[in-house]
Structure 1
Amino acid sequence: MMRRVNAGLFDMDGTLIDSEPYWLEAEIELVKSFGGHWTHEQGLTLVGSGLWDSATALQHAGVDLDQAEIIDRLSASVRTRLEEHIPWRPGAREMIGHLLDHGLPTALVTMSYRKNALTISRAMSAELGREAFAFVVAGDDVEQPKPNPEAYLTAAEALGVDVNHSVAFEDSVFGAAAAYSSGALTIGIPLHIDIPDAYMHSRWETMEHKTLDDIDNEWHRREGSA
């Protein structure tokens, strides 16, 4: 079978790491500090969205800070937790190493800001004993957050690959919609929220025990149904 996939594009929060509980804890603490109340259900509505949108939602919940300050506080809180413990998702490290072993470039495509993205990029590189990502697109690098495809298109261009022959891994509705509309083969790995089938080409439980052959099979399945 001819190999068709030429790059791996990875979301971070919820896809490589189960960090959504960290974000929820940070949101609850911040809203509570201003006398408000923030629920788990409210937090789930923000999964995968841009941090500016999250900041606006927290302002509506009573946080009397500007958006930039809210983002800084949330990001710092999550980063502190990540520096204590990184909750890797099953198969995430192995998949990136597997793609690198086969000569495919990889990029991190996240709506977290660069400081947090680099924390995970460096940790992944340390786990693999080599540079994990050739390029990192963070939330403060793009004009339009997910579900806009800008972040994925930017990553593919930086890697010098055709996004239509790239595979993107996502756990959220906003993220999957961004990857799907970019033209990338989109594999959804839902964790805390489900993803409608319309926003992904395939659904995996995790990346554990998956290989490039599995990805190529998904690519050929997509092309066969086009």
Structure 2
Amino acid sequence: MTTHPVAAVLFDMDGTLVDSERLWDIAMDELAASYGGTLSPSARRSMVGSSMATSMRILHDDLGQPWRDPAAGIAFLERRVAELFVTGLQWRPGAMALLHAVRAAAIPTALVTSTARALVEVALDTLGRDSFDVVVCGDEVTATKPDPAPYLTAARLLSVPIERCVAIEDSPTGVASALAAGAAVLAVPCEVSLTETDGVHLMTTLATADLELLASLLASRDAPAAIGVITES
């Protein structure tokens, strides 16, 4: 059993580990076009990190078609994104190396995503099925991000205190979920910009993240100090 100060690392998936948001963009645009409309950039940004049900509400309101059946839209997206995931998933900069370093240090890991299990199973062909001790999907929790339930569920399944976990996120919704759960948060924005927030360590890339940094996030909480934005040199 690891003696590392970090009890577990909890990874978001879309936009954090893999550059999948661009694939969701394709599928969302195709769905909007099939409805005879165009999804606005602001509506698409507000979907990032949200559940499928929330995204459908945003889409239908944006198109002025609130009467649309969300189940039909979700079914379309799940089919299309699954096709795109097979060949289109690419790692975000530094994500693979950090995940491998965490695993090599025998620190427990969890994948905590708003994406449904069926799509996550496709993504795991890229991420590696042995990369995570626990996988928490959006259709397997009582409430989705920004609710703390996904991260609390991951910590419970790993049998670790959430206060000793580091969550890695890319969206405001995900950051809010991890903070509400009580985890230390490392945020690396992808499609949506993030602002400095108490308890959140903001970076421009995971390429410069390492185990020492993860441990320092917990140390910073134990001895509070200002946390700024780290940028690549």
TM-score scaled by structure 2? 0.89
Name the residue aligned to 1:142. 141
The offset of 1:196, in angstroms, is: 2.8
- Any residues of structure 2 matched to 1:19-98 within 5 Å, and which? 19-60=20-61, 61=63, 62=65, 65-98=68-101
Q: Could you tell me which amino acid in structure 1 is paired with residue 217 of structure 2?
A: E
Write out the 4+ residue segments of structure 1 that deviate beyond 6 Å after TM superposition.
none
The offset of 1:10, in angstroms, is: 0.5
Name the residue aligned to 1:152. 151
Whole-angstrom distance in 2 between the partners of 1:15 and 1:101 = 20
Whole-angstrom distance in 2 between the partners of 1:158 and 1:100 = 17
The offset of 1:158, in angstroms, is: 0.6
Q: Could you tell me which amino acid in structure 2 is paired with residue 86 of structure 1?
A: L
Name the residue aligned to 1:183. 182
| Number of residues of Structure 1 aligned to a counterpart in Structure 2 | 221
Percent identity between matched residues is 33
Do residues 121 (structure 1) and 120 (structure 2) align?
Answer: no
**What is the CA RMSD across the aligned residues, in angstroms?**
1.8
CA contact (8 A) 2:50 2:144 kept: yes
Whole-angstrom distance in 2 between the partners of 1:42 and 1:161 = 37
Whole-angstrom distance in 2 between the partners of 1:151 and 1:41 = 26
State which drifts further: 41-50 or 146-155: 41-50
Whole-angstrom distance in 1 between the partners of 2:199 and 2:35 = 39
CA contact (8 A) 1:108 1:133 kept: yes
Name the residue aligned to 1:205. 204
Whole-angstrom distance in 2 between the partners of 1:152 and 1:216 = 18
CA contact (8 A) 1:176 1:199 kept: no
CA contact (8 A) 1:31 1:63 kept: no
Name the residue aligned to 1:10. 11
The offset of 1:77, in angstroms, is: 1.4
The offset of 1:144, in angstroms, is: 1.2
TM-score scaled by structure 1? 0.91
The offset of 1:58, in angstroms, is: 2.1
The offset of 1:64, in angstroms, is: 5.8
CA contact (8 A) 1:34 1:63 kept: no
* Secondary structure of the corresponding residue to residue 30 of structure 1: helix
Q: Structure 1: state its 5+ residue gaps.
A: none
Q: Structure 2: state its 5+ residue gaps.
A: 226-233
Deviations 1:31-79 (A, max 9, x none): 1111122122221111111111001122222376422221121122122
CA contact (8 A) 1:28 1:39 kept: no
* Secondary structure of the corresponding residue to residue 49 of structure 2: coil
CA contact (8 A) 2:23 2:88 kept: no
The offset of 1:200, in angstroms, is: 4.5
Deviations 1:154-178 (A, max 9, x none): 0111111111101100000000000
Deviations 1:190-220 (A, max 9, x none): 1121223226520121211421111111221
| CA 1:49–1:145: 2 relative to 1, 3 Å | same
* Secondary structure of the corresponding residue to residue 207 of structure 2: coil
Q: Could you tell me which amino acid in structure 1 is paired with residue 139 of structure 2?
A: D
